[in-house]
Amino acid sequence: MSRALLQHLELLRNLGVKELYRGSSSQADLLQSLSQRYSSCQNCPLGATRKNFVYGEGNPNARAMLIGEAPGAEEDRTGHPFVGEAGKLLDKMLAAIDLSRQDIYICNILKCRPPNNRDPESAEREACLPYLLEQIDIIQPQLILMLGRVAAQTLLESRLTLEKLRQSVHSFQGIPSYVTYHPAALLRNPHWKRPAWSDLQKFRDHYLSL
Ligand code: SF4
């Protein structure tokens, strides 16, 4: 049994779940049901300060998952991942490689917003990671794109800089994984758009080869 699956089962047991019903639902129904079930989660202090739980959205059968760090103010307000200006830029980035949100599944490591968009604490990442591992287990993507330093360092258990991490194709849960800038960072630093485009082209080439 994989470590991810063990973590997931442990999470469910802690949440008081006694019965598993996977197999009787479609992936979309399952994700929807799990999102509702976890929406009142208080497994870390962020549960007390969030406005909305932001589980994830997109194609439940996606070949690629995009994973960011945590909801920002607009995501917290609406309950949807990657909205606002960063979300619009992400849509443009996807369109540039002939993809849309209907093609991919997008979510964050943390499902609740850290106050003032501070970096998530390690205990918060640890508490929330099983939800992401479960999403990956359900969607079974063939490719992952990690958006931003925090997402990449957390998932790859690395302290390397984003610049270094961007230079390799990694493996997360056995899935080929690329790293690029978070769209919010690109809004703050437009000169990073050129290297981000280079990352996206590599990701697109791999996607097209699937
Ligand atoms: S961030 Fe994750 S672990 Fe923390 S309260 Fe929200 S859903 Fe639960």
Can you spell out the DSSP letters for 68-92? ES---HHHHHHS-SS-HHHHHHHHH
Tens digits of residue pLDDT in 117-152: 899 999 999 999 999 999 999 999 999 999 999 999
In which band, very low, low, confident or very high, does the pLDDT at 24 lie, cut at 50, 70 and 90? very low
Residue that is written with structure tokens 């002939």 in the block: 98
| Residue 91 pLDDT | 97
Mutate which of 35, 124, 150 to test ligand 1's pocket (most atoms within 8 Å of Cβ)? 124
Please state, for a pLDDT cut of 90, what percent of the chain lies above it.
88
Average of per-residue pLDDT across 46-72 = 97
The Cα–Cα gap between 115 and 99 comes to 32
Mutate which of 52, 110, 118, 119 to test ligand 1's pocket (most atoms within 8 Å of Cβ)? 110
H/E element, 172:
strand 170-172
H/E element, 145:
strand 143-147
User: Is ligand 1 within 6 A of the CB of residue 109?
Assistant: no
Q: Which residue has the higher pLDDT, 54 or 19?
A: 54
User: Is ligand 1 within 6 A of the CB of residue 47?
Assistant: yes
Residue 34, SS3? Answer: helix
Q: Which architecture does CATH list for 3-208?
A: 3-Layer(aba) Sandwich (3.40)
Please report, for residues 51, 52, 76, 124, 126, the alpha-carbon distance to residue 47 in angstroms, rounded to integers and kept in the order given. Answer: 9, 9, 11, 10, 14
Task: Tell the residue nearest (CA) to atom 1 of ligand 1.
Answer: 112
Please state, for a pLDDT cut of 70, what percent of the chain lies above it.
88
Residue 183 has pLDDT above 70, yes or no: yes
Residue 17 has pLDDT above 60, yes or no: no
Domains of the chain, residue spans: 3-208
| Residue 15 pLDDT | 59
Contact 121/155 with Cβ under 8 angstroms? no
- pTM (2 d.p.): 0.89
Is the sign of the CA dihedral 210, 178, 43, 57 positive or negative?
A: negative
Contact 66/81 with Cβ under 8 angstroms? no
User: Is ligand 1 within 6 A of the CB of residue 11?
Assistant: no
User: Is ligand 1 within 6 A of the CB of residue 54?
Assistant: no
In which band, very low, low, confident or very high, does the pLDDT at 18 lie, cut at 50, 70 and 90? low
Residue 165 amino acid letter:
L
Average of per-residue pLDDT across 2-7 = 58
Average of per-residue pLDDT across 73-93 = 96
Residue 4 has pLDDT above 80, yes or no: no
Tens digits of residue pLDDT in 197-210: 999 999 999 999 99
Residue 13 has pLDDT above 90, yes or no: no
Residue 3 has pLDDT above 70, yes or no: no
| Residue 120 pLDDT | 94
**Which has the closest alpha carbon to 77: 28, 118, 117, 124?**
117
Residue 93 amino acid letter:
M
Dist. CA 44 → ligand 1 center (Å)? 5
